[in-house]
Structure 1
Amino acid sequence: MSTPKNPGPRLPDRPVRPPTIAREVPATEVPATAVPSDTGSILERLKAAKPRATSTADDAEPGRGHTTSGTSAAPGGPAQPSGNTASGTPTPGTRDARSGIEGPDAGTAAGPGAGTTADGSGRGGRADSDAAHQVRQAAGRARAAAGASGRALTRGSSAMARSMGSWDPDLVRQAVVTACAVACILGSAAGVGAFGGPSIRDAAGGLFAPDATLLAPASSAFSIWSVIYVGLVAYTAFQWLPSQRTSERQRRLGWIVAASMLLNLAWILSAQSGRLALSLVVIMLLLFALLAAVRTMNNHPDESRLEGALVDTPLGLYLGWVLVAAAANSAALLTARGAELFGWDGATWAIVGIVVVLMSAAVVCSTDRGRLSVAAATSWGLLWIAVERLLGEPVAVDVALVAAFAIFLLLITAGSRRHRVDHAHRRWLRAQEDALREPVDLLDDDYQDSRY
Structure 2
Amino acid sequence: MYSRVPLEFPRRVAVPKTTRVLDGTRRWANLLLAIAQGTLALAFIFGVWSRNAAGFRRDPPIVPAFYELAVWMVIAVGCIVYAFYQFGAARRADAVLRRVGSFTAAGFLGCCAWLLAAGIGRPAFAIPALCWTAACLFFAFMPLWKLRGVAPCFRWCVVAPISIYAGCLSVAISALAARNFRLVLGQPPGSVALLLSATLLILVVLRRSGGNLFFAATVAWGLIGIGVRNQFELKNRAAARIVWVSLIAFVAAAAWLAVRGNREDEYEDEDEILEG
2:138, 2:169 → 1: CA distance?
11
Matched with 1:414 is 254
Report if the CA contact (8 A) 2:38-2:77 is conserved: no
Deviation track 1:290-337 (CA, whole Å, cap 9, x = no partner) reads 1111112236656323212211111111111112122222222134xx
- What pairs with 1:178-189 in structure 2 (closer than 5 Å)? 178-189=31-42
Structure 2: segments with no counterpart, 5+ residues: 1-16
Determine whether 1:398 maps to 2:238: yes
Partner Cα separation in structure 2 for residue 206 and residue 237 of structure 1: 40
Aligned equivalent of 1:315, options 142, 155, 162: 162
In structure 2, do the counterparts of structure 1 residues 328 and 408 end up closer, same or farther at CA, with 3 Å as the change threshold? same
Q: Which residue of 1 aligns with 2:207?
A: 366
* 1:366/1:413 contact within 8 Å kept: no
Q: How does 1:6-405 map to 2 (within 5 A)?
A: 168-192=21-45, 198-199=47-48, 202=51, 207=55, 209-298=56-145, 303-335=150-182, 341=184, 344-393=185-234, 395-405=235-245
Q: Determine if contact 1:210/1:388 at 8 Å carries over to the other structure.
A: no
Deviation per residue, 1:112-154 (Å, 9 max, x gap) = xxxxxxxxxxxxxxxxxxxxxxxxxxxxxxxxxxxxxxxxxxx
Q: Shift in Å at residue 252 of structure 1?
A: 1.5
The one-letter code sitting in structure 2 at the alignment partner of 1:187 is L
Q: TM-score when scaled to structure 2?
A: 0.83
**TM superposition shift of 1:370:** 1.4
* CA deviation map 1:149-184 (0-9, x unaligned): xxxxxxxxxxxxxxx969632222111111111210
Deviations 1:401-441 (A, max 9, x none): 221222222222322222122213323444566678xxxxx
1:160-219 residue CA offsets vs partner (Å, 9 max, x unmatched) = xxxx969632222111111111210221133135xxxx537749x965x25532122111
CA distance 1:276–1:185, shift in 2 (3 Å): same
Whose helix fraction is larger, Structure 1's or Structure 2's?
2
Aligned-residue offset at 1:352: 1.4
- Quick one: structure 1 residues 368 and 243, their matched pair in 2 at CA, closer, same or farther if it must change by over 3 Å? farther
Residues 370 and 427 (structure 1), Cα distance of their counterparts in 2 relative to 1, 3 Å cut: same
Q: Is the 8 A contact 2:117 2:123 kept in 1?
A: yes
Contact 2:168–2:219 (8 Å) recurs in 1: yes
Distance 2:275 2:22 in 1: 44
Tell me the amino acid that sits aligned with residue 194 of structure 2: G
Residues 184 and 265 of structure 1 are in contact (CA less than 8 Å); yes or no, is this contact kept in structure 2? yes
The CA RMSD over aligned residues, in Å, is: 2.7
Distance, in Å, in 1 between the alignment partners of 2:64 and 2:216 is 17
Q: C-alpha deviations, 1:50-99, integer Å up to 9, x for none? A: xxxxxxxxxxxxxxxxxxxxxxxxxxxxxxxxxxxxxxxxxxxxxxxxxx
How many equivalent residue pairs? 260
Larger Cα-atom Rg? 1
Query: In structure 1, what residue type is equivalent to 2:65?
Result: A
The unaligned stretches of length 5 or more in structure 1 are 1-163, 437-452
Q: Is the 8 A contact 1:276 1:329 kept in 2?
A: no
Q: Comparing both chains, which one has the higher relative contact order based on Cα–Cα distances under 8 Å and sequence gaps of 6 or more?
A: 2
User: What do residues 374-411 of structure 1 show as CA deviations (whole Å, max 9, x unaligned)?
Assistant: 11111111111111111112x22222122122222222
Deviation, 1:239, is: 0.6
- Counterpart code for 1:297: L
